[in-house]
A and B are shown apart, each in its own frame.
Chain A
Amino acid sequence: EVQLVESGGGLVQPGGSLRLSCAASGFTFSSYWMTWVRQAPGKGLEWVANIKQAGSEKYYVDSVKGRFTISRDDAKYSLYLQMNSLRAEDTAVYYCARAVQWAFDPWGQGTLVTVSS
C-alpha cells in the first residue's frame, strides 16, 4: 500500500524555523516527483513546492521563495520542507503528496503548523 506520513508540525513563533518530514512507503520513492501542498484553516488548497527525482529540479510558490527549501533523501524514502522566517500567514496544514501524471496521488494525512506568538 502506498503511504505518506508527515511529521514535524507544531507551534512556532513568527520568524522561527521548522522542518517538516514526510515518510514514504509502498512505492519506489526515487522514481517520482514529490510535492508539498498547504491548507490554511478553513481555506482552500495552495501548492507550495515540487522536487524532481534526485532533487535535480525544485520549484516554489512565490510567497515562500527564499524562505522554504524542499529536499529529499531517496535512501531514507523521505521528503522534507525546511521552513525559515515563518510568518502568521504560513499557518496551515501541510500535506505531502506523490506526483503522478501531472496529478497528486496519494496525499498524506497532513501536519499542522501554527505560527503565533
Chain B
Amino acid sequence: DIVMTQSPLSLPVTPGEPASISCRSSQSLLHSNRYNCLNWYLQKPGQSPQLLIYLGSSRASGVPDRFSGSGSGTDFTLKISRVEAEDVGVYYCMQGLQTPITFGQGTRLEIK
C-alpha cells in the first residue's frame, strides 16, 4: 500500500499570511500518462470534503487562485498565498494511482 505522510499536522496561520502543507508518498505517484495522481481536499468544519487540487497542480472548478499545488513523484506541496478565515479546516492529500487509495493523516489549519 502507498503510505501518504503530511506535515505539519497542525498549522496556525495569521490571516493574510501564506501557508504551506507538505505531502510525501512512499511510492512515486507519476502515472504512465505523465500526470501525478495526487489530490488535495479541504474538509471545513461540519462539512463533507471538497476537492481543491487534482493531478498534483490543477485547481478544481470554483477554487480560488490563492490555492496552488506543486510537486512530482513522491513530494508534493499545497500552498495558500494569503490565508483567509474561510480556509479553516482539515486538509488531506490523497493518492489515486492505485488501490487501495490512501489519504494522508490530515493537516488542521486554524486562524491565529
Contact = CB atoms under 8 A, between A and B. Distances in A.
B1 to A, nearest CB: 9
Interface stretch (A67-75, A79-87, A96-104): A96-104
B100 A47 contact: yes
Nearest to A110: B48
A95 B39 contact: no
User: Which of B55, B60, B94, B100 has the most CB atoms of chain A within a 10 A radius of its CB?
Assistant: B100
Given A45-B92, A101-B55, A102-B96, A107 B103 contact: no
A104 B50 CA distance: 8
A44 B9 CA distance: 12
B36 to A, nearest CB: 9
A103 B94 CA distance: 8
Contacts of A45: 41, 43, 49, 92, 94, 103, 106
Contacts of A61: 100
Contacts of B106: 44-45
* Interface secondary structure of A, over-half rule: strand
Contacts of B99: 47, 50, 59
Q: How large is the interface on B (under 10, 10 to 19, 20 to 34, 35 or more residues)?
A: 20 to 34
B105 A44 contact: yes
A20 to B, nearest CB: 15
B55 A102 contact: yes
Interface in B39-54: 39, 41, 43, 48-51, 54
Contacts of B48: 95, 106-110
A46 interface: yes
B92 A105 contact: no
Given A103-B39, A104-B39, A47 B51 contact: no
Contacts of B39: 102-104
Interface of A: 35, 37, 44-47, 50, 59, 61-62, 95, 99-110
| 4 nearest CB pairs, A to B | A102-B96, A105-B51, A103-B54, A47-B101
16 contacts: A35-B101, A44-B104, A45-B92, A45-B103, A47-B100, A47-B101, A61-B100, A95-B49, A100-B54, A101-B54, A102-B35, A102-B39, A104-B96, A106-B48, A107-B50, A110-B48
